[in-house]
Amino acid sequence: MFQAKIKAETLKKMIDIVSPLVNEVKLNVSPKGISLRAVDPAHVAMVDLEIKASAFEEYKAEDMELGIDLDKLGSVMKLAGAGDTVQLEFDEMSNRLIVKIGNLVRKIGLIDTTGMTEPKVPNLNLPAKITVKASDLYQGVKASEAVSDHIALLANRDFFELFAEGDTDTVNLRLPKDLLIDLDAPEKCRSLFSIDYFSSMIKPVKGDQPLTIYLGNDNPVKLEFEFADKNARATYLLAPRIESE
């Protein structure tokens, strides 16, 4: 059994977070809420997402797995307004997810989850932790996209820095500790990443919302943020690009 009622903006946010990496996901449904974990086809990035039962206006569920085509779910969610509420229900007889928005009903055929493995989260020792306003970070990333296809992230005890270098141009964004929400970097850390992946990961976080970055040296970067009034959490992992000597 799965019956739920949730704000359209929360469901749209989930799709915005996951769809840059994968089109099909396995939702793990339990009485505590729903969660998913997925890796992109190139095995460069991972997303780990949890929406607690408290994020829903109504929620009744048993333990089950639902295979969802995000393109199909996203297409119907485009019809929902900002203030709309969405009703979700699993129809066991037809193996479909029933999505109701006002008087509109869409029945989405579910995907077989048998072959959808659950990726393991690697155990990483990332010494630097930086919490930044999303808008500050987005400005630097947006500027870097016009210059290069990769981006360097740096942190030490005094500042966090973003750097991109192309054939002729460079972009540099340095945020000192007093402009950050939080900075804990006992040692200097630097890693290089694909700007396409990194940009798509920070895009769902808006304005002054805090985004926490865990950074090491030539290690994956971990990004974490909350949404749905802190009743939901998303974590990304992105593999580094190792710089040639």
Using one digit for the tens of pLDDT, what is the confidence trace for 127-139?
999 999 999 999 9
Sheet order of strands, 159-165 included: 170-176, 159-165, 150-155, 189-194
- Hey, what domains does the chain have and what are their CATH numbers? 2-34+53-109 (3.10.150.10), 128-238 (3.70.10.10)
Residue 204 φ/ψ, nearest 5 degrees: -70, -15
Half-sphere exposure of 162 (CA within 13 A, CB side): 25
Over range 82-87, report the average pLDDT: 93
Give yes or no for residue 212 having a pLDDT over 80.
yes
Give the pairing of strands 85-91 and 2-7: antiparallel
Q: Which residue from 26, 6, 216, 16 is spatially nearest to 123, judged by alpha carbons? A: 216
pTM: 0.93
- Tell me the C-alpha to C-alpha distance, in Å, between residue 227 and each of 17, 183, 241: 11, 21, 29
Name which of 8, 18, 42, 29 is nearest 203 in CA terms.
Answer: 18
| Residue 52 backbone phi and psi in degrees, to 5 | -70, 155
Q: How confident is the model at residue 242 (pLDDT cuts 50, 70, 90)?
A: confident
The answer, yes or no, to whether residue 182 has pLDDT greater than 80, is yes
Task: Please say if the pLDDT value at position 142 is more than 70.
Answer: yes
Residue 245's pLDDT band (boundaries 50, 70, 90)? very low
